[in-house]
Structure 1
């Protein structure tokens, strides 16, 4: 089993074998790799009663001890309760509330910082994403530049995301390795685990306590934590219920921060490498906005080419979904699938299927356009793939898509994403590279810069948002 770039390996293996799904066993543990969207739908959607649990990987649940992350929890009452807590606050009917906050952070934090210090664009994106999710979850004021808690969260959640990637650690395949002494060769994963445990515990407790303290002082913003503390304040089992709220809050911060940050950087990389696409998307945005205003959510439906760009970004931004686990045996297309089989959806293979996406490695938003409008009938809906399947579909997909689209539109409205220059003033070529073992596909650091667009009064459009220290 490959420990890195597994999505590429399994796609090539499937092509070589002429199959849409691959079964294998490692030390007695059965795995099913699904490379095809329809197969994933047939199993994970239509037979969700059998395919909705999660494998409990040793590195995550036993070595690190993360057992109550509801993204990773087994299917059952505990998972249902955590998901219900999430949905009560982030229901689709409350999306306008979240979008208002998203616009506030884009305009007061991200865009002014990109204008003032474009060479630090990556840091600005990270701080903006983290600060926004910090505010939505904990209601805490965040510094518009280099917020301490956001920096700590990035370190913690990037490490946690890496250990959840299927196949990275041999202890996930050979559980007995966890019993080896620390001095034994190959047990470096134990040291990594201890570090992550300390960080996760701090991430769970510190922002929660800061929210509660702010509530006691009467100086807080309404948020996920405050709403639940108020709702449960008089409950006889307050401590038990609030423990679940803490866990869900950390999942919101972790999942939203890690994935959104990676997808926005994928968008920037795609625009850097495809200048013609960037120009066409900017012209489309300009045709709707004109020169004198910033984009709002009501503009997105009038931007079919821009929406196609976002779809093409999503197509390249995800590698595999969190693994599912069968809770009983099954038979599909004549093949026996055992109980406790780990099922991995290879999103990369699905979204690079040559029969659906000709020339799949090419960045081509035009594949989603037909007669000037979105061509949704001919291709699978990417949203149905990248956010998971069945009962384990990501419950925050609306917030994530909203944040990605308005962020990308705002950047294109004001800035050109251009190559950085070397000491001799020549453009630095960028060869795209991505994290080797992760659920999402984070671009590895690359050189670029942002330049205010000619013909746009960028400073004037941002004037009222400049010099804000906290949001």
Structure 2
């Protein structure tokens, strides 16, 4: 069919009207405050690849706003430095703000498309999250707390007692082993379990890859098409190695659990319980695949965040001995000298609860959280927010807001407690920001908080945390420093020593656990 001039004009007018309709609000509504943008690249080369959370906090101060807009190669980014704005957008308007952006390094280079924390909002994501919530929920927390007790008492505390200089290694072994046990029900070596060590290295690398600005390819996606042999494409080698390791971790422990189930020796775990729940259903094969994929996510997420929080606690106690002593006095008054802390003590330890809140506030374990993405355009307080926009809640800025937390860089648990009573009129990091917002909030937060509580209470009960000594016998001063990645933050390695407290018969309290080599 040949179009005449009038048809062409009519189609052009229709196209013009469509464009005007689609963009009808854009000319009338401003975007949130922003830095000047360069043509084509936008702000791509103004955004740092390390400590982005601090950059966005300072940028908000410079622009005089707590919501700001940036662009990278045509992609829209909104950063929120305020808890209430984040709640308004990510929770109250969660239907629009619950998807995830495409991260080139993670999704295309590594090929990690089956991790539900990074999945777009939709049915597949719901299937994975439902499996998680069916097994891990506040109603089943007492079941998992028994496992937490086992790993702290049989693993962490004996390891510290026998080798007090390598606390970080012991925390990683304890938390990683606990995560492996909860997920797969596999036996774990108390010291240097090879699977726990392999998983930590792999998940640390994968989390770094998920940081939007960590690798240039996530800012300039076209770089993914460059062959691996071209100089400057080491990100492709890194991606391939991470993919291979993730595949090994996804398959190996899962197959071992299946074998134990066949032998009738598999204890309760996420994998065994979930498979039994769907055994014999018409869609069992699909559910089994979802279970295998979700298991890897649980295994990795629990390890990374809980180690970061536990090491932040130890660092805080090291550099604040007065706070440490006060907390020990409270633990002693409740627990006494002849037993170990347990979960029944928790309600009677308000100062320790305040310390845990301050740990989460002082060094947020996810400084920028995981980015959300809008599935439709929106307007907030007169600002236009485009469809397909990456929306990031700056947890660090929220929890270091001077208006809410005066002197935010100071570690001060008294922010959360007065006259021995926890305050309920101040933003609680354990409830807001730390574990995300809206429909993408971390479903394992209650387990992570229980783990942090027991590690903190048990360590304070048995040990003094003090500076290591140099070759001249002088205390080594530790200045708090944290990793540069904005997806996960943990203290950089620091020296300290943990010694049995005077007046505590630590050996006797740990006697029944000291011979344990494998935790089941």
Q: TM-score, normalised by structure 1?
A: 0.98
Is 2:406 the partner of 1:358? yes
Q: Superposed, which structure 2 residues align to 1:54-73 within 5 Å?
A: 54-73=100-119
The residue number in structure 2 matching 1:91 is 137
Q: Superposed, which structure 2 residues align to 1:242-253 within 5 Å?
A: 242-253=288-299
Q: Superposed, which structure 2 residues align to 1:178-197 within 5 Å?
A: 178-197=224-243
Is 2:280 the partner of 1:230? no
For residues 474 and 349 of structure 2, the distance between their equivalents in structure 1, rounded to whole angstroms, comes to 34
For residues 481 and 124 of structure 2, the distance between their equivalents in structure 1, rounded to whole angstroms, comes to 38
The residue number in structure 2 matching 1:268 is 314
Q: Secondary structure at the match of 1:385?
A: coil
Is 2:385 the partner of 1:346? no
Deviation at 1:381, TM superposition (A): 4.9
The residue number in structure 1 matching 2:72 is 26
Deviation at 1:182, TM superposition (A): 1.9
Q: Secondary structure at the match of 2:118?
A: coil
The residue number in structure 2 matching 1:141 is 187
For residues 300 and 267 of structure 1, the distance between their equivalents in structure 2, rounded to whole angstroms, comes to 17
Structure 1 residues 66 and 39 mapped into 2: Cα distance closer, same or farther (>3 Å)?
same
Is 2:448 the partner of 1:396? no
For residues 514 and 410 of structure 2, the distance between their equivalents in structure 1, rounded to whole angstroms, comes to 38
Which of 466, 474, 478 pairs up with 1:430?
Answer: 478
Q: Superposed, which structure 2 residues align to 1:364-403 within 5 Å?
A: 364-403=412-451
Q: Superposed, which structure 2 residues align to 1:407-422 within 5 Å?
A: 407-422=455-470
Q: Secondary structure at the match of 1:384?
A: coil
Superposed CA RMSD: 1.1
For residues 323 and 481 of structure 2, the distance between their equivalents in structure 1, rounded to whole angstroms, comes to 20
Is 2:203 the partner of 1:157? yes
Is 2:249 the partner of 1:203? yes
Whether the aligned pair in 1 keeps the contact of 2:49 and 2:215 (CA below 8 Å) is: yes
For residues 244 and 282 of structure 2, the distance between their equivalents in structure 1, rounded to whole angstroms, comes to 30
For residues 55 and 84 of structure 1, the distance between their equivalents in structure 2, rounded to whole angstroms, comes to 21
Kindly provide the CA deviation profile for residues 69-100 of structure 1, in whole angstroms up to 9, marking residues without a partner as x. Answer: 00000000000110101111112111000001
Kindly provide the CA deviation profile for residues 369-428 of structure 1, in whole angstroms up to 9, marking residues without a partner as x. Answer: 122210121334542210100000100011110111111100000001111111211111
Which of 285, 300, 306 pairs up with 1:239?
Answer: 285
Deviation at 1:438, TM superposition (A): 3.8
Q: Secondary structure at the match of 2:510?
A: helix
Q: Which has the larger radius of gyration?
A: 2
The residue number in structure 1 matching 2:29 is none
The residue number in structure 1 matching 2:37 is none
For residues 379 and 253 of structure 1, the distance between their equivalents in structure 2, rounded to whole angstroms, comes to 29
For residues 257 and 227 of structure 2, the distance between their equivalents in structure 1, rounded to whole angstroms, comes to 40
Q: Which runs of 5+ in 2 are unaligned?
A: 1-46
Q: Secondary structure at the match of 2:188?
A: coil
